[in-house]
Chain A
Amino acid sequence: MRPAFSVIFLTTLIGAGQGLFIALYVTELGALLGAWAVPPGPYFALGCALSLVLLGGGLLASFFHLGRPERAWRSAAMWRTSWLSREVIALPAFMAAVAAFGLAHYLRGAGDLTLALGAAGLALGLLLFVCTGMIYACLPFLQEWHTPLTIINYTLFGCASGFLLGTVWAAAHAPALVTASALWTAAFTLAALVTRLASLARNARLKPKSTLQTAIGVKHPRIAQKSEGFMGGSFNTREFFHARSFASLRAVKWAFLLLVFPVPLTLLAAGVALSSWPVLALAFALQYLGLLAERWYFFAQARHPQNLYYQAIS
C-alpha cells in the first residue's frame, strides 16, 4: 500500500494522546493505592490538555485524508458494520472523557468523580485502540494486517509513546513520579518490541493467497501480463504500491527498530539518572520519529492483491 501521511499522523498522534491519558489515570490510581503522593496542582488538568492537543492534532490530520472533508460528519453513520465509523465515534467520545477528567481535576481535585471519569476514559481509550487497529486488521486479503497483532501493536506503541510523554511530564512537574513512570514506559516499550518482532516474523513468512492464476482464473503456471489496459497511471497504480525499492524499505525498518526501542530506552535511563526532562523530551521526540517510520513501514509492507492486475504497462 502507499503510506498516507494523514493516516500516519492520525494513528501516531492519537496513540500518544491515548497513552498519555492512560499514564495520567495510572498516576491517579497509584496515588489512590498509596504507591506515591498525589502530584501537585494542575498536573492532571494540564496533562489532559496536552493529551487533547495530541488527539486534536490527530483528528485534524485525519481530515487531510478525506476527499470531501465537509461531509466528514456523515462518517459516524455506519457504526454497526464499519470499524472506521466506530473509530469516528470513539475518538470524540474519548476526547470528551479526557476533557471531563481534566476539568474535574481542575475544578474539584482528585476524588470519586475523577476516578469514575478516568475509568470511563480508560475504557474509551482502549476501545479506540481496538477500533483503530481493527480498521486494518479486519481486511482479510491484506494478509500483513489481518492478525490480532495489529491491534496489540497499535495499543502497545500508543502506550509506550504516551507513557514516555507522561515521564517527561512527571520529570517537569512531579519528579517523585519519574522512576515509576519510567518503569511503566520501559515495560510497554519492551512489550511492543516483542509483539512487533512477532508481527515482522509472521509477515516475513506469509504466502500470498491470491496469485495471477486465481486473479484471472487461468490454470497455468506461467502467466505474464502484457498490458494493464492503459499507458498513463491510474488510481490503481498510485494508491496500492509504495513505489520504493526493497533497500529503502529495509532501511526504514531498521530505522524504526532503532528509533522506537533502543534509542529512547537509553535516553530514558539517562534522563532518569540525570533527572533531566529535556533528555526525556528528546527520547520522546526521537521515538515519535521512529513511530512515524514504523507506521510508514506498516502500510508499505502490506501487499494488496489488486496489484496482481497492474504489473506491466504494455
Chain B
Amino acid sequence: MSKQLALVIDLNVCVGCHACVTSCKEWNTSGEAGSLSDDNPYGRDPTGTFFNRVQTFEVGEFPNTQTVHFPKSCLHCEDPPCVPVCPTGASYKRAEDGIVLVDYDKCIGCKYCAWACPYGAREIDEHQKVMKKCTLCVDRIYDELLPPADRQPACVMACPTSARLFGDVHDPESAVSQAIRDSGGYALMPEWGTHPANHYLPRRKTEITLHRDELERVDNPLKIDGKLPKPDIRAPSLDDSTSW
C-alpha cells in the first residue's frame, strides 16, 4: 500500500494556544510559493489566508462543561472531493505520499474546489487570486538540508504539548497508526465518504480506579497493627529519658 502522510491531533492535550496557527503562517508565508496575503492585519477588521485554525467548542451544559480546542486544517482525504471537480487539474493528490496540493500556477481561482470541500479547509488568497490550503509543509518534510528531526510540518514542530503527530497512516507500525488504534482515533464527517487521512484523538478522562485491597496492607491481613496496646499513661516516655 502506498504512503499516506497525515496529522493526528490529540484533542486530549491540545490547550488551544494557537502556536500551530502562527507557526504555520510564518513558515508558509515565507516559502517560495509566495506570501499568504493579509488585509488590515492591524486594523479594525483583519482578514487573511491561513492553512490552519484553532477553534474552541463548549461541550455540555454549565456547570458540567468541557472546553474542546479543535485545530482544523486540510484533512488530506483519501478520496478528496475537491480534486475531481477542479477543471484545470491544479488540485491534485500526490500518488507517492497522498498529500493533496494545489498547483498555484494552474489555478484559475474559480473556487469550485472550496465549494466541494465539506470541511472548509481551502481559503482563497484574495491578492494572488488562487486557492490555497495546507501542504503538510511539503517544502519542509523532504528538505535534506534540515536535520531529520526538523523534517516535520511547522505546526507539529511548534506544538508545546505534542498534541500533533505526523506520519504515515498506511504504515501500521507508525506512531500515528498506533495512536489511532490505541486511543480511538476518528475521522471528521464520516458521512460523506471522503475518508480523511488526518485523524483526531478524543478527549479522555484521567481516572484512577482504587480497589479495596489496595487501601490495606496486603502483608497485614489480621490488622495486627491496630491491636497493639496503647502504652500506659504512666509508662516512661521519650521525655523521661532525654534531657534537653
Contacts and interface: CB of A to CB of B under 8 A. Distances in A.
Interface stretch (A48-56, A70-78, A184-192, A268-276): A70-78
A40 interface: no
Max count, chain A CB within 10 A of own CB: residue among B49, B84, B88: B88
Given A74-B108, A218-B68, A222-B59, A230 B53 contact: yes
B189 A210 contact: yes
A222 B57 CA distance: 10
A88 B87 contact: yes
Nearest to B40: A232
A82 B192 CA distance: 18
Contact of A309 (B60, B109, B120): B120
B118 A75 contact: no
A214 B190 contact: yes
A34 interface: no
Given A66-B108, A217-B188, A304-B115, A222 B87 contact: no
B14 to A, nearest CB: 12
Interface in A39-89: 65-69, 71-72, 74-78, 81-85, 88
Interface stretch (B122-130, B153-161, B207-215, B232-240): B122-130
B101 interface: no
A250 interface: no
A197 B55 CA distance: 39
Instruction: Indicate the size class of the contact surface on chain B.
Output: 35 or more
A210 B191 contact: yes
Contacts of B116: 139
Contacts of A218: 57, 59, 68, 202-203
B99 interface: no
Contact of A229 (B45, B53, B124): B53
A209 B186 CA distance: 18
A223 B86 CA distance: 34
Interface string B61-87: 100000110101000000001011111
B106 A214 contact: no
Interface residues of A, number: 57
A66 B124 CA distance: 11
B96 to A, nearest CB: 20
B111 interface: yes
A83 B85 contact: yes
Contact of B21 (A209, A216, A229): A229
Nearest to B92: A78
Contacts of B106: 71, 74
Contacts of B203: 218
A205 interface: no
Interface string A148-163: 0000000000000000
A229 B188 contact: no
A240 B67 CA distance: 26
B72 A309 contact: yes
A229 B73 CA distance: 12
Contact of A67 (B72, B110, B189, B200): B110
Interface string A207-222: 0011010111110101
Given A76-B87, A81-B84, A236-B123, A214 B115 contact: no
A309 B55 contact: yes
B56 A227 contact: yes
B50 interface: yes
B58 A226 contact: yes
A231 B46 CA distance: 8
Contacts of A68: 107-109, 129-130
Contacts of A214: 188-191
B85 A84 contact: yes
3 smallest CB-CB distances across A and B, nearest first, come from A67-B109, A67-B129, A306-B120
27 contacts: A65-B110, A66-B110, A67-B124, A67-B130, A71-B106, A74-B90, A74-B106, A75-B87, A75-B108, A77-B87, A78-B84, A81-B84, A139-B81, A141-B118, A142-B115, A209-B191, A210-B191, A216-B68, A217-B188, A218-B202, A224-B57, A225-B55, A225-B57, A235-B49, A239-B111, A305-B118, A310-B120
Given A67-B111, A67-B130, 14 more contacts: A67-B128, A68-B107, A69-B108, A74-B89, A75-B108, A84-B110, A88-B87, A141-B81, A216-B57, A217-B202, A235-B123, A239-B111, A306-B117, A307-B120
Interface of A: 1, 65-69, 71-72, 74-78, 81-85, 88, 135, 138-142, 209-210, 212, 214-218, 220, 222-236, 239-240, 304-307, 309-310
